[in-house]
Amino acid sequence: MQPGAGGTRMMSTWALAVFLYGLTLTIPLVGQEKTPPPQPAPSANAREPSRSAPPSEADIESAALEKAFSASPGDPQALIKNLEAFLEKYPHSPRREQVLRTIYRQALQGNDPRKAAATAEKLLEFSPDDPDLLGSLADLYSRQDDSASREKGIFYATRLIEQSEKLSDETRPSEVPAAQWPEVRKLLRATAYTLRGRIYARAGESQKAAADFEKSLAAYPTAQVAEELGDAAMQLGEAERAIDAYATAFIIPDKRIDEARRDVIRKKLGSAYLAKYHSEKGLGDLILARYDEWVRSFPERFAGTGRPNRDARDPYDFVLERLDGSPLKLSVLRGKILVLDFWATWCAPCRVEGKLLDQVRERFQGEKSVAFLAVNMDDNRAAVPKFVKEEAWKTPVVYAQGLEEALGVRALPTLLIFDGQGRVVFRQAGIVAAPVHRHQVDAERLARVAHVLVRRKTDVIVGAMLNDLAPTRDDLVVAPRRRGLYDQLHTPRHRDLKFVI
């Protein structure tokens, strides 16, 4: 398989795997829908009005689809019902896959996992090995309590594992740099085993759960999975194995493990150690030895873990590190219109937004009251400088270092615009396609910005930015079959799926 052909589907799941690990996603990911719902195609009558020509079958179908959307504004359940009725009436519609994806997305947003799972299975008819759908189905069925659903969850998780094990250099998507592909493969494999391990754990099959958690940790270690391995080992009465797992969970840097959670892990570690040795003597030495071992094995994971902005409360109190290691105090940008674009090397849509941001920055290069920053959220910084060089980005790049948590960034890319008074006047998660006419600015989004702006100058500048930051369909280059995760990553209900690992 050539990169960029069938391999492009793996890029979507790579995004899934990393969101599961590196954001809080989780994901998360409130993001906006990146792919608009299926729209009725313009009919010949619409293009060339004719009073005498009767409507064609395509015109009638388009009108029915338009009615399905217009009759259910803001009501996911009503929209699902209307679209299902549409498919029942037009079972062979050329828009069937798009309509099913919309139903699937609305079911996720409407917190209806059964409907989402049933629709995802129908979508597999179009792409049976779609890793996005396989991972989603494993997660959706794992949330249901009956044994039949658990079996289905295990079935789909196993298929995802099989997909992850088949990855090779030949399946690398063109969007993923060759240097990053080995880590991408590890992340996907870890995600797949974690999904199945959690289903086994909920079913009380601790031995199988522990085996899958071990494989996940071997692929890509995280504190959360290490803790779950410790829990499974305790269920099996294997104190030594649990101590080893909890010690690993305690020392691994993990953005999603806050101080309160780490304290819980420490207590679990202490309890397991006491149960085996009847004293905590030697526990400190064990933790230090494990820490030294992991620093040697994964130095990049421990780089920059000192939380330099841990006491920062206001975004402008943050000091961020540039690519060359020099510090940037955001306080020096106070009073300017500040544009922050949160991104990561593994995020395919981020590449699109990065290029758009460069174009906008070029337009405002002579405007001293505007500043642009591309804020990187990679856990492993090693690939970032090379990525920026390859993409030839001109926008200054800094590392997030906790700023994403302070600003509640849960999806990538996320664009924030601050006005001169330091207020967030625009926020967009994901990429939203431009209107039909490129020069038209989305009136609703502009209205949300304009009503809080004070200076006319700011209004004009932000308005122009929003117009230029809306990519066209050609910019997005998103094939229909890749839209599943593209929408899914920015669906509120599915944020927890981004935290699988």
Q: Which amino acid appears at position 425 of this protein?
A: V
Residue with tokens 């642009």: 372
- Region 248-255: what's the mean pLDDT? 85
Q: For residue 264, give the nearest of 311, 219, 226, 213 by alpha carbon.
A: 226
For residue 197, name the pLDDT band (cuts at 50, 70, 90): very high
The domain locations on the chain are 222-297, 315-480
The pLDDT of residue 150: 92
Query: In whole angstroms, how large is the CA radius of gyration of the chain?
Result: 24
The pLDDT of residue 304: 53
* Segment holding 327, helix H or strand E: strand 327-329
pTM here? 0.58
Q: For residue 145, what are its two tokens?
A: 């309590």
Q: How far apart are CA 135 and CA 12, in angstroms?
A: 11
Continuous H helices in 396-440: 403-406
Percent of the chain with pLDDT over 70: 72
Percent of the chain with pLDDT over 90: 37
Q: Which residue(s) pair with 328 in the sheet? A: 320
Question: Who contacts 18 (Cβ-Cβ below 8 Å, separation ≥6)?
Answer: 187, 344, 346, 347
Q: For residue 15, what are its two tokens?
A: 């995004």
Q: For residue 180, give the nearest of 342, 320, 18 by alpha carbon.
A: 18
Question: Who contacts 480 (Cβ-Cβ below 8 Å, separation ≥6)?
Answer: 97, 98
Q: Are 223 and 258 in contact (CB under 8 A)?
A: no
The pLDDT of residue 52: 62
Q: For residue 210, give the nearest of 227, 222, 192 by alpha carbon.
A: 227
| Res. 266: pLDDT tops 90 | yes
Q: Are 336 and 421 in contact (CB under 8 A)?
A: no
The pLDDT of residue 320: 93
Top-confidence residue, 49 or 390? 390
The pLDDT of residue 461: 54
Mean pLDDT of the chain: 76
| Res. 198: pLDDT tops 70 | yes
- Region 486-491: what's the mean pLDDT? 32
The pLDDT of residue 35: 40
Q: How far apart are CA 452 and CA 466, in angstroms?
A: 15
Q: For residue 497, give the nearest of 13, 16, 10 by alpha carbon.
A: 16
Domain 315-480 belongs to what topology? Glutaredoxin (3.40.30)
Asked whether the CA dihedral 353, 472, 475, 433 is positive or negative, the reply is positive
Query: Residue 268 CB: number of other CB atoms within 10 A?
Result: 20
The pLDDT of residue 54: 84
Q: How far apart are CA 489 and CA 33, in angstroms?
A: 9
Q: For residue 159, give the nearest of 185, 113, 114, 124 by alpha carbon.
A: 124
Q: For residue 120, give the nearest of 245, 110, 105 by alpha carbon.
A: 105
Q: Are 11 and 175 in contact (CB under 8 A)?
A: yes
For residue 131, name the pLDDT band (cuts at 50, 70, 90): confident
- Region 113-124: what's the mean pLDDT? 93
The pLDDT of residue 490: 32
Q: What is the pLDDT of residues 333-371, one digit of tens each?
A: 999 989 999 999 988 888 888 888 888 888 888 888 889
Dihedrals φ, ψ of 398, to 5°?
Answer: -135, 160
